[in-house]
Structure 1
C-alpha cells in the first residue's frame, strides 16, 4: 500500500513539471511563472550560448549566476542551466587565473 502512495506522488510531480512545457511546431518551450515562454535548448546549442554569453563579442566573463540570468533574460532555458553555468565558469582559465585579485 505504501508503495502505491509513493508512486502516485511521483506521478503527480512529473505531471506538474510536464505542464510547464509547451511544444509549438518543432520547438519546445518552458513556461515561467509569469507566463513567458523560454525556448528550450539541447546540449550543443546550450554550450554555444554559454560560450557566447561568457566569452563572446560582448562577453565580460560574468559569474555563473549572472550568466544564468542573462540567458533566461534572452529567452532560453534548459533544466541544468545553473549547473552548466558553474561548470563553464569554473573551466574558464582566464576567470580562474584572475579570480582572487
Structure 2
C-alpha cells in the first residue's frame, strides 16, 4: 500500500521555491507583513500606496532625489515592503525629470 505524502495539504501543486517564499509573509488580521531574517515585520504595500511612498521618499519634504538603492534602503528602514520594490525604485528614479 502506497501512502500519499502530505495528504490534505493544498500547497502540493505549488513549486518548492514559491512555497519557500510564501513562508516569509505573515497575515495579522487584514494586514500582510513581510518577515525579515532578524524577525522584524515590514508592512506590505499595494501599488497605490507604494507609488505615494516612492514620491514622498524621492521628492517629498525631506527628499533629496536619492538614487534607487538609497530609496529602497530608506523605505525598508521606515518599515515598508513590496516584492518589486527595487525595480519600482529604479523606474521612478529614471523617470524623474528633475534628476
TM superposition score normalised by structure 2 = 0.85
Tell me the SS of whatever aligns to 1:39: strand
Structure 1 gaps of 5+ residues are 1-7, 96-101
**1:99 is matched with which residue?**
none
**Alpha-carbon distance, 1:15 to partner:** 1.0
Q: Please identify which structure carries the higher helix content.
A: 1
> Which stretches of structure 1, 4 residues or more, deviate above 6 A after TM superposition?
none
Structure 2 gaps of 5+ residues are 1-11
**2:58 is matched with which residue?**
54
**Alpha-carbon distance, 1:75 to partner:** 0.2
* Deviation sequence 1:2-55 (CA, Å, 0-9, x none): xxxxxx8x6211111010000001110000111110000000000000000000
Report the RMSD for the aligned CA atoms in angstroms: 1.1
TM superposition score normalised by structure 1 = 0.83
